[in-house]
A = this chain, B = another copy of it.
Amino acid sequence: MAADKRYLILAEGRSDDPHYGKTMRGVLRYRRDDVVAVLDSTRAGQTENGVPVVGSVADSLALGPTTALVGVATQGGRFPPEWIAILRACVEHGLDVENGLHVFLSEDSMLRELADRRGVELRDLRRPPSELSTATGENLSVDATIVLTVGSDCAIGKMTVSLELDLEARRRGLRSVFVPTGQTGIAIAGWGISVDAVVADFLAGAAERLVVEGAARGDLLWVEGQGAILHPVYSGVTLGLIHGSAPQLYVLCHQAGLTEIEGVGGGPHPIPPLSELVELHERISLPARPARVVCVAVNTRGLDDVTARDAVASAEAETGLPADDPVRFGAGRLLDAVVGALES
């Protein structure tokens, strides 16, 4: 993880909203030590996950932030006037600003000019590197174990599963690296490429570059998955990431009880049985890089403990693979499955 940065998380009006704060929650969970405050004028003086909530940028300065991070999705993904005012205040107070929304800060000419004058950086985490290329095949000679999270739908916790497995692997002393492929992962890890934002031709090339860079950082790579192989909207990103990151192993992620892909028109879009998803991922892997699903991560959020254990047991029974909810019950069992596969 990148050091030195001390974050002020910008979450105006939404710091306790369960739907729009994926980045804030991810950073608070996996990078808590680097966060000095959350900005939300509607909750000034309270705390969020033990972190002080401040009402203005000026109020945070005593805590020594270096970097403001846009931590919540704004209405329509754009920056309304009150947000522009906050962003300007950050820049005026000498903070770099990091942003993972679709709209780019650096395209606001007034803000950019102000940032130039103040000598601070505006970092748009979804902006792809300018010099991407098509995949070269270097991914297939990377000297590392590559584990990709895949799933039955978007937004069911693939990033979280990768992060939990990385954390547990590092606890065990393995040279483990989380490889970020989306804006929240990038905000957490301090590097990466938002693969869904690259030109389609360069999808596998971007993923290849990430595993090449990951292998320079460690030898057990947890690549953050994107989308789903049967997702009507994002499957192209998913398959480009599968072939470009060239994993030897998959962790299949599923949300307990989910039977249809959500939030997509033209449906219903039923999710096939997990055992079919296991087989489909293995068959769609490159012949030059056979890959297998070694375990199933079950997201049991919202279930009581008994129902959660049942959901895990039923995923095991259905697939014949070890299953667990790494957030709820710890990542040990899934990590054992991965390490066991490496040794076998």
B-binding residues in A (CB < 8 A): 134-141, 195-201, 203-205, 229-244, 246, 264-270, 272, 280, 283-284, 286-288
Contacts and interface: CB of A to CB of B under 8 A. Distances in A.
Given A196-B201, A201-B196, A287-B272, A232 B135 contact: yes
25 contacts: A134-B233, A137-B267, A140-B266, A195-B200, A199-B199, A200-B200, A201-B237, A203-B236, A204-B236, A229-B239, A229-B284, A230-B243, A230-B284, A230-B287, A231-B243, A232-B286, A235-B242, A236-B243, A236-B244, A238-B239, A269-B286, A269-B288, A270-B287, A280-B284, A283-B283
Contact of A237 (B195, B234, B236, B288): B236
Contacts of A284: 229-230, 280, 284
Contact of A264 (B137, B198, B233): B137
Copy tally for this chain in the complex stands at: 2
Given A204-B236, A230-B284, A243-B232, A136 B199 contact: no
A322 B205 CA distance: 37
A84 to B, nearest CB: 23
A136 B266 contact: yes
Contacts of A136: 265-266
A191 B12 CA distance: 45
Contact of A233 (B205, B231, B236, B267): B205
Contacts of A198: 199-200
A92 B197 CA distance: 38
A201 B205 CA distance: 16
A203 B239 CA distance: 12
B265 A138 contact: yes
Contact of A200 (B134, B139, B230, B237): B237
A138 B138 CA distance: 39
A256 to B, nearest CB: 20
A264 B246 CA distance: 14
A237 B201 CA distance: 7
Nearest to A272: B287
Contacts of A140: 265-266
B135 A203 contact: no
Closest 3 CB pairs of A and B: A137-B265, A236-B240, A137-B266
A139 B196 contact: no
Given A283-B280, A288-B269, A232 B137 contact: yes
B138 A200 contact: no
B233 A241 contact: no
A313 to B, nearest CB: 26
Contacts of A272: 287
A232 B134 CA distance: 10
B232 A241 contact: no
A266 B233 contact: no
Contacts of A233: 134-135, 204-205, 243
Given A134-B233, A230-B286, 6 more contacts: A137-B232, A137-B265, A195-B200, A197-B199, A199-B199, A246-B266
A201 to B, nearest CB: 4
B196 A200 contact: yes
